[in-house]
Structure 1
Amino acid sequence: MIPIALAPASPPERSAWRRHRFLLLRRSSQLAVLALFLLGPWAGLWWVKGNLASSLSFGVLPLTDPFVLAQSLAAQHWAEATALIGAALVLAFYGLLVGRAYCGWVCPVNAVTDAAGWLRRRFKLNAGSAPPRGLRYALLAAVLLAAAITGLPVWESVNPVTLTQRALIFGGSVAWAAVVAVFLFDLAVAPRGWCGHVCPMGAAYSLIGSKPLLRVSAAHRSRCNDCGDCYAVCPEPQILVAPLKGKAGSGPLIQARECSACGRCVDVCSTEVFQFTHRFDHRRD
């Protein structure tokens, strides 16, 4: 008898929930955060006062963005104790637990850049060229230097995160113009440009969350069929190569500080190569 090679079985069709669960959870998280801020001006329920830069929840829980605090300190404005406590809480949460998840799960600009990325893939738009990834770290240093020279937290006057929240709450042509500018930048100028190459706030959270507990792992990388879908959707595709391909003896964990724990790779992978886990889990197929 002549042996007949059987074609590999196609992976079973996944449910809509498994294909979109982390996208839906991320959008729910982002909308919930915005809703808490909107309840005050829109419904008179001031459960959370302030904005994403600095807030007070239920009158007892202060939260301060560490990058904003760093600008204030560089500008030689000493912060109040509540601001320092709020920054310490944020540093502990992102630094020890979830890493750069702020960019994927909280930042409202994430939805704007996701929309631009989806349109690029949908209409196969390949124009444009992204700047070097190191630019965001250079801008981070430049922002702090500018604050020290001017005595002002200068980035906050142009920060798309602040302006997006302001546009949603108060409106205003300038605020909405900043949102549109980020969208057009990612759509027409630089693929994955803003979050992956430019945003100094994202650079700050990358540094803060370089060794978090939460990690994504290519634990089942032996299942990879080289479809490239994960690279297409990941805002930082360069971080997938070593864990997925085991280059230079690399383990399956995505250790790069640029990972925003967005779960896009988990959602899109038809063979379920990726999963959320912790930094001490080095198991693989």
Structure 2
Amino acid sequence: MSVKTHLPVGHEAIRDKGLIRAHKYLILRRLSQTFFLSLFLLGPWFGIWWVKGNLSGSLTFEVLPLTDPFILLQGMVAGHWPEMTALIGALIVAAVYALIGGRMYCSWVCPINAVTDTAAWAHRRLDLPKGWQPKKNTRYFVMAMVLVVSALSGAVAWELVNPISMLHRGLIFGVGFAWTFVVAVFLFDLFVARRGWCSHICPVGAFYGLLGNRSLLRVSAEKRAACDDCMDCFAVCPEIHVITPALRGKDEDTPLILSPDCTNCGRCIDVCSVDVFHFTNRFDDTPAPGRVRARPKQTRKIGEAA
């Protein structure tokens, strides 16, 4: 195993590509998350009701309905048949994420992602142990339990504790109990389980991962032969297991990251100083040459740096 370095994650990328390019997709994601959140806050804050509702369900310009399909599913198993506008809204959202990647919702839209990313950054800076790591299938168990509780209670169970909705309420109504859930997620990721919430617990991420299982947009490690084992991509990836098959694969193995767990966040592209990764589509059959080991740079252990 390679030795651990105390150089900041992405140090080589910043040096070789510049500060902006080394954070391009991170910046775009924050702008995207801020944009969507701002649309919902324009009404309560400024009386500009272009969009009514929140990420669970909304109506844009009194014309376009959008519904979270996971919320719709909970309502249906709870015994509440939705109106046609809600069904149409759910179909629109489901079709979009089925095409571009379900977990893009997690990294490009969900405002809690900024909270968990901050916790992950603080975790690295404080050099904390990774802590308890729930099993990979835990979030699917939580998703199933949410549906069971919804069916038994006759209510949309997840909305009672959903930190996404709580963050929205907290921003509208100010300091209150809703912020407790948001702070709890941050502390959980910081001290209990590194990347624990989004990667292991959240049922919304589990649902959208299933929704985008065959999505078109993918990340490819097409230039994996140039990899110098700096390990920065593993350090920043919220789902590090998705990288290995594409990056460490044999000549005949696809360089595409095909796992539905991939959030298409683009951070592996940002921090790679030798541009191994790029966005493409799932039908990209460009062969990736086998790895030719160059003299490695200082590297960091996966478990210690992430």
Range of TM-score over shorter length: over 0.9
The number of aligned residues is 276
Q: Which residue of 2 aligns with 1:7?
A: none
Q: Which residue of 2 aligns with 1:178?
A: 181
TM-score, length basis structure 1:
0.94
Q: Indicate which of 15, 23, 27 corresponds to 2:26.
A: 23
1:223 aligns with 2:254: no
Supply the distance in 1 between the matched residues of 2:130 and 2:206 (Cα, whole angstroms).
Answer: 25
Q: Which has the higher contact order (CA 8 A, sep 6+)?
A: 2
Supply the distance in 2 between the matched residues of 1:174 and 1:282 (Cα, whole angstroms).
Answer: 51
1:101 aligns with 2:104: yes
Cα distance change on mapping 1:16 and 1:177 into 2, 3 Å = same
Asked if 2 retains the 8 angstrom alpha-carbon contact of 1:164 and 1:175, the reply is yes
Q: Indicate which of 78, 82, 87 corresponds to 2:81.
A: 78
1:202 aligns with 2:189: no
1:245 aligns with 2:278: no
RMSD: 1.4
Q: Summarize deviations over 1:28-48 as a string: whole Å, max 9, x none.
A: 000000111111011111000
Asked if 2 retains the 8 angstrom alpha-carbon contact of 1:99 and 1:211, the reply is no
Asked if 1 retains the 8 angstrom alpha-carbon contact of 2:105 and 2:208, the reply is yes
Supply the distance in 1 between the matched residues of 2:207 and 2:250 (Cα, whole angstroms).
Answer: 28
Q: 1:282 deviation in Å?
A: 2.5
Cα distance change on mapping 1:248 and 1:189 into 2, 3 Å = farther
Give the partner amino acid of 1:71: Q
The gaps in structure 2 that reach 5 residues or longer are: 1-11, 290-306
Supply the distance in 1 between the matched residues of 2:40 and 2:108 (Cα, whole angstroms).
Answer: 16
Supply the distance in 2 between the matched residues of 1:90 and 1:253 (Cα, whole angstroms).
Answer: 25
Q: 1:172 deviation in Å?
A: 4.1
- Give 1:39-78 correspondences, 5 Å limit: 39-78=42-81
Supply the distance in 1 between the matched residues of 2:75 and 2:251 (Cα, whole angstroms).
Answer: 42
Runs of 4+ displaced beyond 6 Å? none
Asked if 2 retains the 8 angstrom alpha-carbon contact of 1:99 and 1:206, the reply is yes
Q: Summarize deviations over 1:212-257 as a string: whole Å, max 9, x none.
A: 1111110110110111111111000001000001159421000000
Q: Which moved more, 1:81-90 or 1:165-174?
A: 165-174
Supply the distance in 1 between the matched residues of 2:76 and 2:65 (Cα, whole angstroms).
Answer: 18
Q: Summarize deviations over 1:5-56 as a string: whole Å, max 9, x none.
A: xxxxx98711222100000000000000011111101111100000100000
Q: Which residue of 2 aligns with 1:113?
A: 116
Asked if 2 retains the 8 angstrom alpha-carbon contact of 1:241 and 1:247, the reply is no
Supply the distance in 2 between the matched residues of 1:215 and 1:99 (Cα, whole angstroms).
Answer: 11
Q: Aligned with 1:126: secondary structure?
A: coil
Asked if 2 retains the 8 angstrom alpha-carbon contact of 1:224 and 1:273, the reply is yes
TM-score, length basis structure 2:
0.88
The gaps in structure 1 that reach 5 residues or longer are: 1-9
Asked if 2 retains the 8 angstrom alpha-carbon contact of 1:116 and 1:186, the reply is yes
Give the partner amino acid of 2:178: A
Give the partner amino acid of 1:171: G
Asked if 2 retains the 8 angstrom alpha-carbon contact of 1:64 and 1:83, the reply is yes
Supply the distance in 1 between the matched residues of 2:37 and 2:145 (Cα, whole angstroms).
Answer: 29
Asked if 1 retains the 8 angstrom alpha-carbon contact of 2:101 and 2:213, the reply is no
Q: 1:165 deviation in Å?
A: 1.4
Q: 1:98 deviation in Å?
A: 3.1
Q: 1:63 deviation in Å?
A: 0.4
Q: 1:76 deviation in Å?
A: 0.5
Supply the distance in 2 between the matched residues of 1:248 and 1:272 (Cα, whole angstroms).
Answer: 19
